Amino acid sequence: MKTIAFTATLDELDRTGGAEAITYGHTLLPHPAWDGKVFTAPKDGVYCFGISFMRQLIPMGAKDCESCDDSQIRLFVAGEDDGDGPGELKAYAWVGESKVPRSSGAVTVCLKLEKDDRVRTLDWIDGDKRRFFRHIVFTGYRIR
């Protein structure tokens, strides 16, 4: 069986507004099914995905806590019926409201996917505030 796996990272994400799909800057373990933003299942199977990130509350140059609210990296799965939309929320790595200078969130989930299902991550913060995430890691692999 040929291995289906990828690992991607993003050093820094700094933006304001609603949830947006994340484009990762580095792929440490490449696979043709991963394009830097979306993983497309090359075959039916059970796949596991992991997300981890660190939130920095006061971005460089800011005067106060701009990212103190709940912050998440959300994992969505879209099938052929979902068109280009994000699909269905399946899991999220979450950091709750706090004033800790750096907090981290992580999640691992295993899902049954069908061939051509698309998996992507979106960043989110409670409200329409600036979010500043550091060291986001997204990995996925087929176990059977």
**CATH T-level assignment (fold) for domain 5-142:** Jelly Rolls (2.60.120)
Report the predicted TM-score, pTM, of the whole model to 2 decimal places.
0.87
Residue 140 token pair? 């996925």
Tokens 């050093």 locate to 11
Q: What rounded mean pLDDT belongs to the chain?
A: 85
What residue type is assigned to position 21 of the chain? A
Could you report the per-residue pLDDT of 14-46, keeping only the tens digit for each? 777 677 889 999 999 999 999 999 999 999 999
